[in-house]
Structure 1
Amino acid sequence: MNRIRPIRSAAALATGVAAALILAACSGGTPSAASPTPTSTPLSGTVTVLAAASLTETFDRLASGFETAHPGVTVRASYGGSGALAQQIVQGAPVDVFASAADAPMATVTKAGLATAPTEFATNVLELVVPPGNPAGVRSLADLAKPGVATILCDVSVPCGSAAQTLLQKAGVTVKPVSLEQDVKQVLAKVELGEADAGLVYVTDAKSAGGKVGTVSVPEAAQVVNDYPIAVLSNAPNPIAARAFEAYVLGPVGRAALQKAGFGAAP
């Protein structure tokens, strides 16, 4: 796996931000726009977050918790395929924080000079989901190649699709999907509706669906791990609150929420 190693670990960054808060409170200094430093002044304004679709439930909970901790702040989160979100940022969308489901979309943003030092904060792997009752009798990846088994995958242009392609190639399974979707939630929704016999989604999405789908373990998925990086944008409209939200995600509350949702720890 090609992984972008973070300049700082999640724990180190969270600790650094906390230290900056204490230092700023003691010094009373005013942060510059180019290098925002949190202060003791209550946070305010809107924090605009673009995040991978697989982070929807977890980031919604974290956004609510952050707003409770900082009553003057509103977190406005939008979700979708990481590649499409990266393109929105490159095209000038006013965004404070970007959280991707893979390194490549984040690299699109950093190479454009719009973010620096992304930090990997979670990992995820794929799992098969099937409609309740598993009417097609799918028991393994190999079953996806059987005649008559309708499979839905993410498009290869988004992380869940790229991971699915790699996984299937490693397993030596050839699949002709009936549909290619733009994010993992669309795959999950179609399987829930019975529009396919199986779909490859992240384990976290399968968990969030509860009894709406059945699951089939994919041991081979351990070989294809998606790393999730997060970064505050260089031109963030609300940089101080954005860095505080990033620290919240990277801190103990964020780590606990991610673990509960089924995400793996950052490498």
Structure 2
Amino acid sequence: MSISRKTITALLAAGALAAGVAGCAGSSNTPAATSPASSSSSISGEITVFAAASLKATFTKLASDFEAKNPGTKVTLNFAGSSGLVTQITQGAPADVFASADTKNMAKLSDAKLIDGTATNFATNVLEIAVPPSNPASIASFADLAKSGVKVVVCAPQVPCGSATETIEKATGTTLAPVSEESSVTDVLGKVTSQEADAGLVYVTDVKTAGEKVKGIPFPESDKAVNTYPIATLGASKNKELAQAFIAAVTSADGKKVLDDAGFGTP
């Protein structure tokens, strides 16, 4: 049977149209499968980390290392006494991560349902006596801090280092008469380095960070108050993926080495 030229032309045109439709259907699926946005697992953006004052040196390094390993990220750090940071957070201060110098202050946020999930303990710390290099009051023990005329500075009771001081006082039956109670351990250290005080109770890590600016005097009673440091993502965080990645970096082997080098213990 013969087919007219007109019929052949019509059949060819229909085949080309069908092929074009099939081609369009295939091309619409391809970008979805290979789209960089859907396949990329890299992190980016900014987070704000609220951390205990005693973590200033280590977290500054950890944040710098984190940003270097993750281009496109920025970590803003806010250091203060843990209790003060808790107050800021409960009053609505924007933060993504909180690292406390004790579990009590972290528990306040947990009880208020302001953290995401559960906190992770990542370090421990104990107190040490810091004195000016010349040790003008001849301090040699914890009991010496209670001697008449000794100008000793401590943290306020609500601050973790202040709570630890009270614990040791009770355990040893020693009552101190501080000339001032500071809102953070770095403020206590500052009073000693400026020689406004004969002695101050700070963490072993603070003494190490201060170097030759102070002389550290360890005392055996410090093991009566070992502070455990927890870290957590805050529920109000707008970048929880990045916050969790930073916490993972802090608790990683590399993070542990930074903390170990600074004098922190392992929980």
Residue aligned with 1:185, SS = helix
Distance 1:249 1:40 in 2: 23
Residue 260 of structure 1: aligned partner = 261
Residue aligned with 2:50, SS = strand
CA contact (8 A) 1:114 1:235 kept: yes
Distance 1:155 1:40 in 2: 48
What CA deviation, in whole Å up to 9, does each residue of 1:204-260 have, x standing for no partner? Answer: 001100000011111110121000000011121111111100000011111000000
CA contact (8 A) 1:123 1:226 kept: yes
Deviation for aligned residue 1:168: 1.6
Distance 2:91 2:47 in 1: 19
Distance 1:29 1:243 in 2: 20
Task: Determine whether 1:45 maps to 2:45.
Answer: yes
Distance 1:107 1:148 in 2: 38
What CA deviation, in whole Å up to 9, does each residue of 1:149-177 have, x standing for no partner? Answer: 11000000110000011112211211110
Distance 1:237 1:180 in 2: 36
Residue 144 of structure 2: aligned partner = 143
Residue aligned with 1:121, SS = strand
Relative to structure 1, is the Cα distance of residues 43 and 29 closer, same or farther in structure 2, using a 3 angstrom cutoff?
closer
Distance 1:246 1:49 in 2: 10
Residue aligned with 2:118, SS = coil
CA contact (8 A) 1:94 1:237 kept: no
Map residues 201-216 of structure 1 onto 2, 5 A cutoff: 201-216=202-217
Residue aligned with 2:231, SS = strand
Gapped regions of structure 1 (runs ≥ 5): 1-27, 31-38
Letter in 2 for 1:113: K
Gapped regions of structure 2 (runs ≥ 5): 1-35
Task: Determine whether 1:181 maps to 2:179.
Answer: no
Residue 197 of structure 1: aligned partner = 198
Residue 55 of structure 1: aligned partner = 55
Task: Determine whether 1:121 maps to 2:122.
Answer: yes
Deviation for aligned residue 1:40: 4.1
Residue 156 of structure 1: aligned partner = 157
Residue aligned with 1:133, SS = coil
Relative to structure 1, is the Cα distance of residues 29 and 226 closer, same or farther in structure 2, using a 3 angstrom cutoff?
farther
Residue aligned with 1:79, SS = strand
What CA deviation, in whole Å up to 9, does each residue of 1:158-200 have, x standing for no partner? Answer: 1000001111221121111000000000000110010011010
Distance 1:94 1:135 in 2: 44
Residue aligned with 1:117, SS = strand
Distance 1:258 1:221 in 2: 19
Tell me the number of residue pairs that the alignment of Structure 1 and Structure 2 aligns: 231
Letter in 2 for 1:131: P
What CA deviation, in whole Å up to 9, does each residue of 1:26-77 have, x standing for no partner? Answer: xx997xxxxxxxx843221111000000000000000000000011001001
Distance 1:111 1:226 in 2: 20
Deviation for aligned residue 1:86: 0.9
User: Is the radius of gyration larger for structure 1 or structure 2?
Assistant: 2
What CA deviation, in whole Å up to 9, does each residue of 1:94-125 have, x standing for no partner? Answer: 11100000011101111111113101000000
Distance 1:56 1:96 in 2: 17
Distance 2:52 2:136 in 1: 30
Distance 2:154 2:163 in 1: 10
User: Structure 1 or 2: larger helix share?
Assistant: 2
Which portions of structure 1, spanning 4 or more consecutive aligned residues, are displaced by more than 6 angstroms? Answer: none
Letter in 1 for 2:266: A
Residue 68 of structure 2: aligned partner = 68
TM-score normalised by the chain length of structure 2: 0.84
Distance 1:84 1:107 in 2: 14
